[in-house]
Structures are given as structure tokens and as C-alpha cells.
Amino acid sequence: MEGDTTGNSTIYDVIIIGGGQSALSIAYYLRRTNLRYILLDSEQHPGGSWQHAWDSLSLFSPAQWSSLPGVIMPGGQQYYPNKEETLTYLRNYENRYQFPVERSVTVTAVEKNDAYFLLHTTSGQYQARAVVSATGSFANPYTPPIPGREQFRGPVLHSSEYRDPNLFAGQRVAVVGEGNSGAQILAEVSQVADTMWITRQPPSFLPDHIDGKYLFDAATMQYEARKQGRDFQPPSLGHIVAVPTVVAARERGVYDSYYGAFDHFTEEGIAWSNGQRERTDAVIFCTGFRPVLHHLHPLGITSPDGRIATQGTRATAIDGLWLVGYGSWTGFASATLIGVGRTARQTVEELNNFLM
């Protein structure tokens, strides 16, 4: 349906906030409808948060199972694409479908009157009958508030700031976090530095034959189970996938020992409540991210934990709002290339029914 106009402002049927993999997946299915939509991307270039990942990052799924709807990522069943290959795929994907994207437009606040959402942005105001928030979490990295950080003399950074292991050559580096990011960063930093692995709990490695294809299949099983009203508990995405760099590090014995979570920083390093102290030159936190939802705060539906109550991806406290790509909270594996297509498809079905 054509968008109405009020004065000089187009009223869109749907505005997608974001320009990364989740936003593109929504746009892919919206292009099959008659709804008038637009994507507002805060980035200067296509590719979403992948533009800011560390240089040697590789997907934990082979290319064939790291694809958005409609286009298979090149590489086949055994190849794990790297950052640049993933960026190229996303840019080509956007260009192939000529999605209506506006850059660089940052949505600062979303409000709603009786009929429409009003989006305040760095490029003026936009109006829409429905909104899909697909901002992800990369812009909101989480670092635990450990005492003494201000007295530590070395650099402390989050994985979102990490780029190149050679910056730590010859140093002693603590890598904090037992997930996939921690395991991958530890694998390469350990080749040029003396490393310590800090984990809250013993790290858990998936068997070598289990990768993104298995997780894709699990996402499919959960999707089908929900349609049938059944419960299905998928595997945890926190387990470490044996990508080639991780396998090589395992063979070098990099993961053979690890330390429990430390209690506080010292001038020279880190320390535990039992009195143990270790000298470190730098600390890299691979401790995850929190959803980027500050733009939705004016709606008054954000819970104390920073989330918004949803049924699937649809916000339950306000009509016309969907949230896509924020992890298991909005659909198993929905923050990954392999999983977001399922939730995107269901979301657009709901949008179409809501707006028609």
C-alpha cells in the first residue's frame, strides 16, 4: 500500500531501524509485500557491526549455513568466512536487492501517538505505522564493574575494541570470557604473547562435528515446535565452536589451563579474593554485549533489565513494534546470520497482517 503524506513528511508503513544482517533480512521479506518501508542506518557504509569486528574474526558456521534469505554465501560446506568476506557478502546482498536505505541516520528517540510512530533522528523526523528495531547490541559492549580498574597501569579493552594481536606482542595478556569470542581472540593473541584465560566457569567446547549447521537445524526445530505449540530447548550458543583457529590453538595446548574470575585490579595486574595475584600488561574482556534500545525508552516499555517484553519478536506492551536480532530473547540464534532469517520471516508475516 502507498504511504500517506502529511505535509512534507511521508508516513511509511514500516520503518526498520538498523542496516545490518537483521535489518536486511526483514527488508528481504518486506520487498515481497505491498508495504512501503525504509531502513534507517546509523553507519556510513553497508555491513552493520561487522565493519567494527577484529581483523581476523571468522564465522563459527561454514559459509553455506551463514547465509541470509535468498542468497547463499560463497564458500561451501567446509569453509568458515572471515570478516572481509562477510562484509563483502552483506554489501553485495544489499546492492542486489536495492533496499531503500538512508545513511547515516541515527534514531535518537521513538514516540507514538494514537495512529503513528514518530522517530526523531539526526536527519529530522520520520513517521511510520509500524517500527522494527534491529539495532543489535554491538554498540553497547558489557564490561563487568571490577574494582580497582582505575589504578591498573595497563590497557583494558573490550573485544569490540580489539583489532590486531601484534599490538600485544611480547606482553602478558589476560583474556576474560569463556565464549566463542574469548576462545578466538585467545587463540591468536597466544601466538605472540604470554596469555592467561580468565573464565567464570569451565569453558565448554562443542564436538568438532557440531558447527553452525547444527545450530541452524536447531533453530529450525524450535521454529517448527513453536508453530505446533510444543516446547523445544535448543543448545546453548555459549559453547565454543571448533573453527580452524580454535582447533589449532587447542593442539598447541592453549586451552589446557584457565583461571577463575578475578576479584579486583592492582597496579601491576589482577588479583583474587584468596590472595592470589598475577602480573598482566593488558586485559581483554570478551564478556558480551547488551541490547541497544535507548531509542525506545520514550515509549515507556523498557523493563529494569533493559529488555522489552515480547511474544516472539512482537512487543506485547505496545501495538506496532517488533524487535529483531537481539538473541534468544527474540528468537533462538536470531543475533546470527544463520538464525535471523527464521525470525525475520515470521515478523514480516505479522507486520503484513497487522497493517493490511
Domain boundaries, the chain: 4-140+289-355, 149-205+240-285
pLDDT at 329: 83
HEC sequence for 136-147: CCCCCECCCCCC
Give the Cα separation of 106 and 94 in Å (integer): 19
Residue 140 burial (CB count, 10 A): 16
**CATH superfamily placement of domain 4-140+289-355:** FAD/NAD(P)-binding domain (3.50.50.60)
Give the Cα separation of 142 and 288 in Å (integer): 6
The DSSP letter of residue 151 is: G
Topology of 149-205+240-285 in CATH? FAD/NAD(P)-binding domain (3.50.50)
Q: Which of 338, 355, 330 is nearest to 133 (CA)?
A: 330
Give the Cα separation of 62 and 299 in Å (integer): 40
Give the Cα separation of 314 and 334 in Å (integer): 14
Q: Which of 27, 33, 41 is nearest to 3 (CA)?
A: 33
User: Does 149-205+240-285 match 4-140+289-355 at the fold level?
Assistant: yes
Classified as helix, coil or strand, 298 is: helix
pLDDT at 236: 58
Say if residues 122 and 346 touch (Cβ distance below 8 Å). no
CA triple 187-245-94, angle to 5 deg: 110
Per the listing, cell 597466544 goes with 190
pLDDT at 85: 95
Per the listing, cell 547463499 goes with 72
The DSSP letter of residue 36 is: -
Q: Which of 252, 128, 121 is nearest to 197 (CA)?
A: 252
Give the Cα separation of 58 and 62 in Å (integer): 10
Give the Cα separation of 282 and 195 in Å (integer): 10
Q: Which amino acid is present at 206?
A: L
pLDDT at 223: 62
pLDDT at 5: 43
HEC sequence for 180-215: HHHHHHHHHHCCCCEEEEEECCCCCECCCCCCHHHH
CA R_g for the chain = 22
pLDDT at 8: 37
**Nine-digit cell string for 238:** 555459549
Q: Which residues of 83-109 are buried (b: 16+ CB within 10 A; e: fewer)?
A: bebbbbbbeebbeeeebebeeebbbee
**pLDDT tens by residue, the chain, 356 residues:** 444 444 337 899 999 999 999 999 999 999 999 999 999 999 999 999 999 998 888 887 788 888 999 999 998 888 889 999 999 999 999 999 999 999 999 999 999 998 899 999 999 999 999 999 999 999 999 999 999 999 999 999 999 999 999 999 999 999 999 998 999 999 999 999 999 999 999 998 887 777 666 666 666 676 666 667 776 666 555 588 888 899 999 999 999 999 999 999 999 999 999 999 999 999 999 999 999 999 999 999 999 888 899 999 999 999 999 999 998 788 767 888 878 888 999 999 999 999 98
pLDDT at 205: 87
Which helix (H) or strand (E) covers residue 250, if one does?
helix 244-251
Q: Which of 307, 328, 332 is nearest to 317 (CA)?
A: 307
**Nine-digit cell string for 189:** 593473541
Give the Cα separation of 40 and 27 in Å (integer): 11
Residue 187 burial (CB count, 10 A): 24
